[in-house]
């Protein structure tokens, strides 16, 4: 396995995805944040002249993921990795759509489609509130969650067909658009398998030691031997089920990260949330 890489300082990497800051307008509302920086709501400004010479501006709602100026090397590498990964997989209905990027200069950003319902983790928590206040029925929520599960699996199947291992599949990284379609996002830790490297062990010890991998979502082989595969993504998919049907509970919340491997090797697993159908 090898990581997808992009050097933002190399002019040869400039392509049709490259935007300029004058094409973006930041509205200021924060949609999310992390070690990389912030995700802000904004607009993409596109200008077009009519036949009469009149200039028309169209503004599209977007999410602007901005790398903070003084980030560490690992966060910057993961951010650039995400940009390149998005270029390779853009276009599937259950993968968040990339609009463009800025990789030249000291302010690097990734521009994505705007998903007004935010992420699945927060969405699931709101559903619990609606259930408790009788604004929503359990049966309707179960049906909606089942549709999300199918959509996520559809997106993961596409990634598998492209030889891409996500490695950070979690409810926080599933976005819900205006049509309530689930879209997989956040490809900073993704790796791609090819014939030359598919049998080679991955080398991500540094990222694990610095807390860059989501421990509670990792499969046993990932925790034990740093091995990642399509199967380890399936494990994480199961954790997403738990998050969704438990209305956003943290998986293995009572277990310390350092004790999780032993906990799993002893045969312990997450309990099925009450809302989750038995068939799943």
pLDDT tens-digit series, residues 28-82: 788 987 767 899 999 999 866 555 656 566 789 999 999 987 788 888 888 998 9
163: region left, alpha or beta (phi > 0 left; psi from -120 to 50 alpha): left
Task: Return the pLDDT at 250.
Answer: 97
* 173 is annotated as contributing to ligand binding: yes
Cβ atoms within 10 Å of 222's Cβ, excluding its own:
25
Query: Could you say which of 15, 168, 195, 233 is catalytic?
Result: 168
- Farthest CA pair distance, the chain: 74
Q: Is 22 annotated as a binding residue?
A: no
**Res 18 pLDDT > 90:** yes
Q: What mean pLDDT comes out for the span 121-147? A: 94
pLDDT in tens, 187-201: 988 888 764 344 444
Task: Kindly tell me if the per-residue pLDDT of 211 is higher than 50.
Answer: no
What's the pLDDT score for residue 167? 92
Residue 109 has pLDDT above 60, yes or no: yes
The CA–CA distances, whole Å, from 217 to 133, 182, 229 equal 31, 19, 14
Q: Whole-prediction pTM value?
A: 0.86
**Known catalytic membership, residue 15:** no
Query: How many CA atoms, within 13 angstroms, populate the side-chain half-sphere of residue 149?
Result: 20
Do 64 and 24 touch, CB atoms closer than 8 A?
Answer: yes
194 labeled binding residue: no
Q: Please provide the DSSP assignment of 127-156 as one string.
A: HHHHHHTTSS-HHHHHHHHHHHHHHHHHHH
Give the confidence band of 10 by pLDDT, cuts at 50, 70, 90. Answer: low
| Share above pLDDT 70 across residues of the chain, in percent, rounded to a whole number | 84
Q: Residue 216's pLDDT is what?
A: 96
Average pLDDT over residues 250-258: 96
């Amino acid at each position: 396995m090898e990581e997808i890489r992009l050097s933002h300082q190399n002019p040869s990497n400039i392509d049709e995805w490259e935007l300029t800051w004058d094409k973006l307008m930041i509205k200021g509302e924060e949609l999310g944040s992390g070690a990389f920086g912030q995700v802000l709501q904004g607009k993409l400004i596109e200008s077009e002249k009519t036949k009469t010479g009149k200039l028309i501006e169209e503004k599209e709602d977007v999410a602007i993921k901005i790398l903070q100026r003084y980030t560490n090397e690992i966060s910057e590498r993961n951010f650039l990795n995400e940009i390149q990964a998005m270029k390779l997989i853009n276009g599937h209905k259950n993968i968040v759509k990339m609009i463009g990027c800025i990789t030249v200069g000291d302010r690097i950003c990734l521009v994505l489609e705007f998903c007004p319902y935010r992420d699945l983790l927060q969405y699931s928590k709101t559903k619990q509130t609606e259930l408790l206040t009788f604004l929503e029925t359990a049966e309707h929520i179960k049906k909606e969650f089942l549709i999300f599960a199918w959509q996520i699996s559809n997106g993961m199947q596409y990634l598998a067909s492209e030889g891409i291992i996500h490695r950070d599949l979690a409810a926080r990284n599933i976005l819900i658009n205006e049509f309530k379609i689930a879209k997989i996002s956040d490809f900073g830790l993704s790796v791609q398998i090819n014939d030359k490297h598919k049998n080679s062990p991955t080398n991500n010890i540094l990222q694990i030691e610095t807390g860059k991998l989501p421990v509670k979502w990792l499969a046993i082989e990932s925790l034990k031997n740093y091995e990642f595969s399509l199967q380890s993504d399936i494990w994480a998919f199961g954790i997403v089920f738990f998050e969704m049907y438990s209305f956003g509970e943290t998986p293995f919340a009572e277990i310390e990260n350092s004790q999780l491997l032993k906990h799993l090797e002893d045969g312990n697993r997450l309990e099925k949330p009450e809302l989750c159908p038995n068939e799943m």
